[in-house]
Amino acid sequence: MNLHIVPLDPAQQKPVPKELGFGNVFTNRMFSQHYAPDQGWHDAKIGPYEPFLLYPATAVFHYAQEIFEGMKAYRRPDGHINLFRPWENMKRFNNSARRMAMPVIDEESHLEALMQLVALEHEWVPDAPGALYIRPTMIATDHALGVQASKTYLHFIILGPVGSYFKEGFSPVPVYISDTYRRAVRGGVGEAKTGGNYAASLLVGEEAKAKGYSQVLWLDALEGRYVEEVGAMNICFVYEGCKLVTPPLTGSILPGVTRKSVLQLAADLGYEAVEEPVDVHEMLAGVRSGYVTEVFGCGTAAVIAPVGKFGFRDEEYIINDYQVGPVAARLYQELTNIQFGRRPDPYGWTQLIAVK
């Protein structure tokens, strides 16, 4: 990749914020490159974070041909920076691109550009437990209204320092189980990280919020019986304190990097860790009987998010007395210790970015 780095105008540099929210502050620089069939990917640059000029008829505004990724850069105790399994995100970005009829990117040079961007913005990586959120995105840019795959695309990466995803921090959250609406169906685009999946979830998200819940748990679209995933996380259940279960990847669930890591870590910690279908009625009966001892979401944004209660058809199901369970706490510790470089990484999951 022929990457052009535009010098930053010092007068336009923003100060690094002290207080961290989630997804509302962005760094000074961004990466961008363009695609056209006769040129391939071209004009790769790291320049100032600035608005795009796009015509109202630009394809992405009408048919949502768009994909993105979500990953983080973590500040290590020695001051250097870790990425966590970035190769998985590169692979998933290209899988999403193929599903949405978009051009793939070169994974290696994309990762190099991303690392260069993070290195340039290293001052923006907060100390733990904060992190620098990384959002690679690709949009269709043809200036035409025909329903067809665009010929031209824009790929960009933006960065923003983030604190805790939930206002509750690492403490249990209430989750609403949607019985009316469905997020994704097998054969659809549920396993791609594309904006439309999230747009489809917003109405129920608002409904859930109005009822006092912070997330929505989705059920399968065919029978409304099997648990799929939470809004921006995969979901795990602990049976009798020793068996960790997460729904299998059947095509309508996003294959989470955290999910994959949790399955491996849990197995290595001695738990039985399996992918198997979870019937919502059996699961809720298990919560009531105490067979289901813990429930937690897992994803890049929150890492591990314990679920304190489910709301389903006007009934409430309290999990583990609304307390953080030992399995969630252990996995959170193990995973964040690797991400932040506080313990050796026996898996080769981290990619170091040395800060000069």
**Applying CB under 6 A, which residues contact ligand PLP?**
70, 229, 232-234, 254, 256-259, 299-300
Identity of the residue, 59 or 219, whose beta carbon is nearer to ligand PLP in the bound complex: 219
Closest contact distance (angstroms) between CB of 223 and ligand PLP is 20
The DSSP-derived string for 115-155 is HHHHHHTGGG-PPTT-EEEEEEEEEE--B--SSS--S-EEE
Minimum CB–partner distance for residue 117 and ligand PLP (Å): 19
Shortest gap between Cβ of 134 and ligand PLP (angstroms)?
11
- 8 Å CB contact between 59 and 66: no
- Min dist CB 69 to ligand PLP, Å, is 8
In the complex, least distance from residue 311 CB atom to ligand PLP, rounded to whole angstroms: 20
Instruction: Please give the torsion angle defined by the CA atoms of residues 167, 181, 96 and 161, in that order, rounded to the nearest 10 degrees.
Output: -10
Dihedrals φ, ψ of 313, to 5°? 50, 55
Q: Which CB atom, from 28 or from 94, has the smaller least distance to ligand PLP?
A: 94
Q: If you compute the radius of gyration of the chain from its CA atoms, what whole number of angstroms results?
A: 21
Nearer to ligand PLP, 258 or 293 (CB): 258
d(CA 300, CA 73): 11
CB of 3 to ligand PLP, least distance (A): 26
99: enclosing H helix or E strand: helix 86-99
- Closer to ligand PLP by CB, 70 or 174: give it: 70
Burial environment of residue 133 by CB neighbours within 10 A (0 to 12, 13 to 18, 19 or more):
buried
Q: Least distance from C-beta 298 to ligand PLP, angstroms?
A: 6
Of 32 and 258, which has the nearer Cβ to ligand PLP? 258
CA dihedral 236, 126, 23, 347 (to 10 degrees): -30
Beta strand pairing status for 243-246 and 234-239?
A: antiparallel
The residue whose Cβ lies closest to ligand PLP is 256
Whichever of 62 and 260 has its CB closer to ligand PLP, that residue is: 260
| CB of residue 262 to ligand PLP, shortest distance in Å | 9
Pairing of strands 292-299, 303-312: antiparallel
DSSP letters of 24-41? S---SEEEEEEEETTTEE
For 75, 190, 257, 352, the CA distances from 85, given in Å and listed in that order, are: 15, 22, 8, 11
Q: What is the signed CA dihedral for 83, 84, 88, 94, rounded to 10 degrees? A: -40
Q: Which is nearer to ligand PLP, 44 or 327 (CB)?
A: 327
DSSP state of 17: P
CB nearer to ligand PLP: give 140 or 189: 189
- Please identify, using beta-carbon distances, which residue of 292 and 304 lies nearer to ligand PLP: 304
The H or E element containing residue 293 is strand 292-299
Q: How far is the CB of 218 from ligand PLP (least distance, A)?
A: 9
